[in-house]
Amino acid sequence: MHPRDIPVKTGRIHPGAFGHNRGVVKSNYAIMPPEGVMDSYLPNWEKTVIRFQAAPQLGARFAQALIEIEPGGGTRAPIADALERFFYVMGGAVDLAIEGLPPARLEREGFAYVPAGTRFSMASAEGQPAAVNGLKRPYEPADGFGAPEPIVSRRADVPVVNVNGTEGRGWQHLLPYGDLRFDMEMNILSFEPGTYFPDVETHINEHGLVMLEGQGMYLLGEDWHEVWQGDFIWMGPYCPQLFYPTGWEPSAYLLYKDVNRDVRF
């Protein structure tokens, strides 16, 4: 049993837990283990805990959070604003209504893209709790391209592709790859044991990463960090990065990346 799965008695801390922390916050990256991300409550959600993992206060140009919805909980009323959103169901199921689409039930590994200005509502399904990872950011339009349409799908329906013949590493593009209407990508990268990136990446793109499966070692900046299922990583622009899976099982993570737009001055 993992230490995070051991119940904590009210008012007591496990022996040896005092001061233990895998969380790291640096100028251009951060690691957020789930046990250290505190709860927030928002007026437009009821019976729902929001655990913010990234936000502008951190230095990110997007916000990402784990949304924990109790039975009977969800949005109090439909939400619509200037932000585009992406939702990925981590556990349980939710009933999602997006303007222009028929209502849909998203079970574990289901996902949805909600364009900016599009009304949506979400509620836990069948009287059971649900956990959803949600990302939101201002949409940046591009001259000559219209706005994207909403998307509702699930991981199992997205093909796994290999880039440049990379054996043992797979990509699933949850949003249409190469579609310049989108200013963001949401991908799932999977790794068989013993595989790794061929080099350390250092690029302009910003990332929000959620470990979905397995474990591994992540090089961020100049330091290696062990990461597990449930961990969140923010990587700012030009943060050197490399992932190496460890353990006997495959590893996979959900990865946000800003793309398809020119530099900002």
CB-neighbour burial class of residue 250 (10 A; exposed 0-12, middle 13-18, buried 19+): middle
Prediction pTM value = 0.92
Residue 3 confidence (pLDDT): 40
Using pLDDT thresholds of 50, 70 and 90, give the confidence band for residue 4.
Answer: very low
Residue 22 confidence (pLDDT): 87
Tens digit of pLDDT for each residue in 107-120?
999 999 999 999 99
Q: Does 1 have pLDDT greater than 60?
A: no
Q: Does 2 have pLDDT greater than 90?
A: no
Sign of torsion, CA 5 23 34 215? negative
CA distance 235 to 203: 10
Q: Does 8 have pLDDT greater than 60?
A: no
CA distance 99 to 136: 17
% the chain with pLDDT above 70: 92
Using pLDDT thresholds of 50, 70 and 90, give the confidence band for residue 166.
Answer: confident
Where do we find the tokens 């556990």? 91
CA distance 137 to 141: 12
